């Protein structure tokens, strides 16, 4: 009996030590980092517990929800390619729908456009933050249309210059998923602080067969000379990847006067785009 008691106590001590060691290993082991091809889902990781919880959070506090989307993007996205469709009102005229192939990198902020439908005055544009600066103005590499290319392969243009303002409502350094989230938040917060607008979740919708979360932001916009960017902004957040895939900007509460239509599709994330993709040489411009 004495021998059994000794053996039993020894076995219990060994089991206890094994459990302690196992728990220590579990605490000490770092989480497994997602592979690059899985990173697309990471923007949704913090908020997508279930479809119901996503909608509940969106409805409870749209500003806080967008902040969480922005945080998720910062932790999960390095670069991407996509197709960008835009239609804008410049002055009194609503231009045609343009379609652009995009290569985008966050650090340093780099944007490469190639027009594939309804190009205006340029065929391709390349911008890299702080790469080309003249007299304190950041520049972009602009490849002109076919006729102009017979004379000069490319020109350098200020991204905030008069040419840029005449050709688009947004500058190239404002492009992208992150900028869309950040700019939506910026004016929603400013309007809330001043008590002059609202930002609400409107329920679910759909873009190109994919379910989205629909938001509306209202501002005291009275015209292009006004400090506010628009009167009403409609934002579709893709319910799976939790990124803005369609934004429609209006000059009136009835949403009859379209200021801008911006849609992102066919996005592929974290491709490790090479530095050479964002150079004049990489574009074949010498």
* CATH number of domain containing 91: 2.50.20.10
Query: For the segment 179-213, what is each residue's pLDDT rounded down to a tens digit?
Result: 999 999 999 999 999 999 999 999 999 999 999 99
CB atoms within 10 A of CB 219: 22
pLDDT score for 146: 66
Residue 125 lies in a domain: yes
Q: Is 233 helix (H, G, I), strand (E, B) or coil?
A: strand
Number of folded domains in the chain?
A: 1
pLDDT score for 131: 95
Residue 82 lies in a domain: yes
Strands 155-158 and 198-207: unpaired
pLDDT score for 147: 59
Torsion of CA 76, 78, 83, 84, to 10 degrees: 90
- Give 168's contacts (C-beta < 8 A, 6+ positions apart): 86, 88, 90
Residue 42 lies in a domain: no
Q: Which structural domain, as residue segments, surrounds residue 62?
A: 49-278
pLDDT, mean over the chain: 84
Residue 247 lies in a domain: yes
pLDDT score for 33: 35
Q: Is 98 helix (H, G, I), strand (E, B) or coil?
A: strand
Distance from C-alpha of 218 to C-alpha of 198, rounded to nearest angstrom: 5
Please tell me the pTM assigned to this model: 0.81
Residue 137 lies in a domain: yes
pLDDT score for 148: 63
Are 240 and 220 within 8 A, CB to CB?
A: no
Quote the radius of gyration of the chain (alpha carbons, Å): 25
Residue 12 lies in a domain: no
CA atoms within 13 A of residue 78's CA, in its CB half-sphere: 11
Ranges of residues in the chain whose predicted pLDDT is under 50: 1-49
pLDDT score for 83: 98
Residue 167 lies in a domain: yes
pLDDT score for 166: 87
Residue 159 lies in a domain: yes
């Amino acid at each position: 009996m004495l021998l059994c008691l000794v053996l039993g106590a020894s076995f219990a001590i060994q089991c206890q030590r094994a459990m302690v060691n196992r728990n220590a290993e579990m605490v000490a082991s770092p989480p497994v980092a997602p592979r690059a091809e899985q990173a697309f889902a990471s923007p949704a990781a913090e908020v997508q517990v279930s479809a119901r919880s996503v909608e509940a959070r969106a409805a409870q506090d749209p500003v806080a929800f967008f902040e969480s989307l922005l945080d998720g993007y910062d932790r999960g996205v390095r670069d991407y390619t996509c197709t960008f469709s835009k239609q804008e009102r410049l002055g009194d005229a609503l231009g045609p729908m343009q379609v652009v192939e995009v290569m985008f990198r966050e650090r340093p902020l780099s944007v490469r456009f190639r027009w594939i439908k309804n190009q205006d005055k340029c065929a391709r544009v390349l911008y890299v933050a702080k790469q080309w600066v003249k007299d304190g103005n950041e520049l972009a590499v602009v490849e002109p249309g076919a006729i102009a290319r017979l004379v000069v392969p490319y020109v350098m243009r200020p991204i905030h210059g008069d040419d840029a303002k005449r050709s688009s409502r947004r500058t190239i350094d404002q492009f992208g998923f992150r900028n869309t989230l950040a700019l939506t938040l910026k004016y929603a917060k400013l309007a809330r602080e001043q008590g002059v607008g609202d930002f609400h979740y409107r329920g679910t919708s759909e873009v190109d067969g994919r379910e989205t979360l629909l938001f509306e932001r209202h501002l005291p916009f009275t015209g292009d000379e006004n400090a506010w960017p628009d009167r009403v902004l409609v934002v579709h957040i893709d319910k799976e990847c939790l990124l803005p895939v369609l934004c429609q900007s209006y000059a009136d509460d009835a949403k009859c006067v379209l200021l801008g239509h911006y849609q992102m599709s066919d996005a592929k994330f974290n491709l490790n785009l090479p530095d050479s993709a964002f150079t004049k040489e990489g574009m074949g411009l010498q």
